[in-house]
């Protein structure tokens, strides 16, 4: 465990915490003293994530939940309260990519509905039930996962994905302005291409694809999960106490190209 314990005794919820950015974020919060509730649909991976935190001396609980299901989200937030007494921070990371390399006209409505249900409605539901519990604690911090696709569009990236991530920005700003006077800060992060299992299935399939992705970023490389987690933890900490309603690119300069 690290000497820096910014989240000692804090209760942190991480959705989509079974792999990728959510998994890394959950481990990072735990290393700084948080009691972490990991949510996801995959039970085996979720239990393994919680076990990894416990093995490192941290405290964690896995709760199976589909964020598009209101009952699941209610139960998830209730589990935070029942097991750890409340909720201080939330990293709303759960999301799916839908269909890439498909034009708007050819995009299937059922896929659109699935992406919207998880990426946008799911985030709304999380905030709907997280915020009241944070108010009971006198305040809290929420970080929503957006994407570079929440700042700009691209051909055949997937209309549902792009639209949902733009929607995350509006949801984040609305939550920030409505609950600032209750001590709730709400921000969103917009990563570029990051070395995660999802990226390796899509943008980083082979060495040539990796080199192309590296070249797209002015900084000359793609990002790492640890770099995203560092920003998320800072936003949730008191060090970022004057930051709310921000939609922050963390993309090696890709959004300014």
CATH no. for residue 189?
3.40.50.720
Is 73 inside a domain boundary?
Answer: yes
- Tell me if 4 is assigned to some domain: no
Catalytic residue, from 23, 84, 161, 179: name it: 161
Residue-number span of the structural domain to which 100 is assigned: 11-256
Dihedral pair phi/psi, residue 87, rounded to 5°: -150, 130
At 5 the pLDDT is: 92
Residue 2 is assigned to a structural domain of this protein: no
Q: What is the pLDDT of residues 36-80, one digit of tens each?
A: 999 999 999 999 999 999 999 999 999 999 999 999 999 999 999
* pLDDT the model gives residue 3: 54
pLDDT tens for 172-200 read 999 999 999 999 999 999 999 998 877 77
Q: Domain count of the chain?
A: 1
167 assigned to some structural domain: yes
Share of the chain above pLDDT 90, in %: 88
Q: How far is CA 104 from CA 58, 112, 126, 148, in A?
A: 45, 10, 28, 19
Residue 2 has pLDDT above 70, yes or no: no
* Domain assignment present for 220: yes
Residue 78 lies in a domain: yes
Closest CA to 217 of 189, 190, 248, 257: 257
pLDDT of 230 over the 70 cut: yes
Between CA 159 and CA 17, with CA 124 as vertex, the angle to 5 degrees is 85
Task: Assess whether 129 carries a catalytic annotation.
Answer: no
């Amino acid at each position: 465990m690290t000497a820096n314990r910014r989240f000692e005794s804090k209760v942190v919820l991480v959705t989509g915490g079974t792999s990728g950015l959510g998994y890394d974020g959950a481990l990072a919060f735990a290393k700084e003293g948080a009691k972490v509730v990991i949510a996801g649909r995959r039970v085996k991976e979720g239990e393994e994530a919680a076990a990894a935190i416990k093995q490192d001396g941290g405290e964690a609980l896995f709760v199976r939940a589909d964020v598009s299901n209101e009952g699941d989200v209610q139960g998830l937030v209730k589990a935070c309260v029942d097991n750890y007494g409340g909720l201080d921070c939330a990293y709303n990371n759960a999301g799916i990519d839908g269909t890439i390399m498909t034009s708007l006209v050819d995009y299937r409505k059922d896929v659109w509905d699935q992406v919207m249900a998880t990426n946008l409605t799911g985030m709304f539901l999380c905030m709907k039930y997280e915020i009241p519990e944070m108010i009971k604690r006198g305040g809290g911090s929420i970080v929503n996962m957006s994407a570079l696709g929440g700042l700009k569009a691209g051909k055949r990236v997937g209309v549902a994905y792009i639209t949902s991530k733009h929607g995350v920005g509006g949801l984040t700003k609305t939550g920030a302005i409505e609950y600032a006077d209750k001590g709730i800060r709400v921000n969103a992060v917009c990563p570029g291409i990051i070395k995660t299992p999802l990226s390796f299935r899509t943008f980083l399939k082979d060495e040539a694809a990796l080199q192309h992705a590296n070249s797209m970023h002015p900084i000359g490389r793609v990002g790492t999960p640890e770099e995203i987690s560092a920003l998320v933890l800072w936003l949730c900490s008191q060090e970022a106490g004057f930051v709310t309603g921000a939609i922050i690119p963390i993309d090696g300069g890709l959004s300014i190209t």
